[in-house]
């Protein structure tokens, strides 16, 4: 199956249409496009959507089991999700895929001893108003991603709305307390409680974009785009620096010139900058 999600970083285990159990107060199952990879179960309104209606971190899934005709249940610490497939056969494939995720996670853990995702602190988290949502959402900036949750309780149980890969993000001030996180697919308009709060959020999200661009995997994807194979300023090949606010890639020499303009004009980052996960503790165990 071809994957059109260009920012996908974890290999997809299984995708397909499933009916998801109705939200409270409704009896109608919702047709959802569902993607399972090692790190997340995500469900979407359509197979064309870039951002999910909901996700569950696989680390937080306690159990997946069949439950009645064509259905299976995904259990987390405080919420259960029921999905219905078109047949028992398809249902069994999904249950098997979840077991594969659990097994692979176990293998990974014994091979690499990574820092568990849920023990890594957020760079910034808290409540923000988000245009289109009646209640404030719980927002978490973690390394190169911004996660959106309906509530702090949902966040604690690994159940969220959507997350944004920041390699394609840009952040702009829009108002005294407001700012936009823009991607080629969607603009998220946030408002903080105060101007200084907003400043902290903007800074954290810019940092997150820097993290995303510092990941070589992402850099390679940036180079897949024809326009990114040459320095935006002098046309030199294989540019490995970027201005994260001007959204251009450039060679080292031109990056130096941008840097001399000052960070208020151009925020310059190396595409190959060491990633934050390589803390001293991690380096020492290898």
95 CB-near residues (< 8 Å, 6+ apart): 64, 65, 66, 72
Task: Quote the CA–CA distance of 92 and 98 in Å, as a whole number.
Answer: 10
- Nearest residue (CB) to Zn ion, 161 versus 250: 250
DSSP state of 46: S
Q: What is the binding site for Zn ion (CB under 5 A)?
A: 231, 233-234, 236, 250-251, 254
79 CB-near residues (< 8 Å, 6+ apart): 154, 157, 159
Q: How far is the CB of 231 from Zn ion (least distance, A)?
A: 3
CA 49 to mean position of chain CA atoms: 14
Helix, strand and coil in the chain, % to nearest 5: 30, 30, 40
118 CB-near residues (< 8 Å, 6+ apart): 57, 59, 60, 158
Task: Quote the CA–CA distance of 57 and 202 in Å, as a whole number.
Answer: 26
Q: How far is the CB of 253 from Zn ion (least distance, A)?
A: 5
Q: How far is the CB of 263 from Zn ion (least distance, A)?
A: 19
- Nearest residue (CB) to Zn ion, 209 versus 250: 250
- Nearest residue (CB) to Zn ion, 160 versus 239: 239
CB-neighbour burial class of residue 43 (10 A; exposed 0-12, middle 13-18, buried 19+): buried
Q: How far is the CB of 257 from Zn ion (least distance, A)?
A: 8
- Nearest residue (CB) to Zn ion, 181 versus 232: 232
Q: How far is the CB of 209 from Zn ion (least distance, A)?
A: 21
109 CB-near residues (< 8 Å, 6+ apart): none
End-to-end CA distance of the chain: 36
- Nearest residue (CB) to Zn ion, 210 versus 239: 239
Torsion of CA 111, 115, 118, 122, to 10 degrees: -150
- Nearest residue (CB) to Zn ion, 13 versus 254: 254
- Nearest residue (CB) to Zn ion, 118 versus 235: 235
Q: How far is the CB of 260 from Zn ion (least distance, A)?
A: 14
Q: How far is the CB of 22 from Zn ion (least distance, A)?
A: 55
């Amino acid at each position: 199956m071809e994957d059109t999600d260009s920012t996908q970083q974890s290999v997809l285990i299984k995708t397909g249409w499933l009916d998801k159990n109705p939200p409270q107060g409704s009896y109608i199952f919702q047709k959802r496009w569902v993607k399972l990879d090692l790190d997340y179960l995500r469900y979407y309104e359509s197979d064309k959507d870039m951002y999910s209606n909901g996700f569950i971190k696989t680390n937080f899934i306690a159990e997946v089991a069949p439950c009645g005709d064509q259905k299976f249940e995904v259990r987390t610490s405080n919420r259960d999700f029921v999905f219905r497939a078109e047949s028992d056969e398809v249902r069994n494939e999904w249950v098997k895929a979840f077991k594969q995720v659990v097994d692979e996670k176990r293998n990974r853990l014994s091979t690499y001893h990574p820092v568990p995702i849920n023990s890594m602190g957020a760079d910034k988290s808290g409540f923000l108003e988000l245009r289109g949502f009646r209640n404030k959402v719980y927002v978490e900036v973690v390394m190169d991603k911004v996660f959106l949750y309906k509530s702090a309780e949902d966040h604690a149980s690994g159940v969220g709305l959507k997350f944004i890969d920041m390699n394609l993000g840009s952040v702009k001030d829009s108002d005294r307390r407001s700012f936009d996180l823009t991607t080629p697919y969607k603009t998220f308009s946030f408002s903080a409680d105060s101007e200084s709060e907003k400043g902290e959020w903007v800074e954290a999200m810019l940092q997150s974009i820097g993290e995303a661009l510092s990941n070589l995997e992402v850099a390679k994807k940036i180079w897949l785009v024809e326009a990114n194979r040459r320095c935006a300023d002098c046309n030199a090949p294989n540019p490995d620096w970027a201005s994260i606010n001007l959204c251009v890639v450039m060679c080292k020499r031109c990056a130096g010139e941008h840097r001399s303009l000052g960070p208020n004009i151009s925020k310059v980052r190396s595409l190959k900058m060491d990633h934050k996960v390589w803390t001293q503790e991690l380096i020492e165990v290898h």
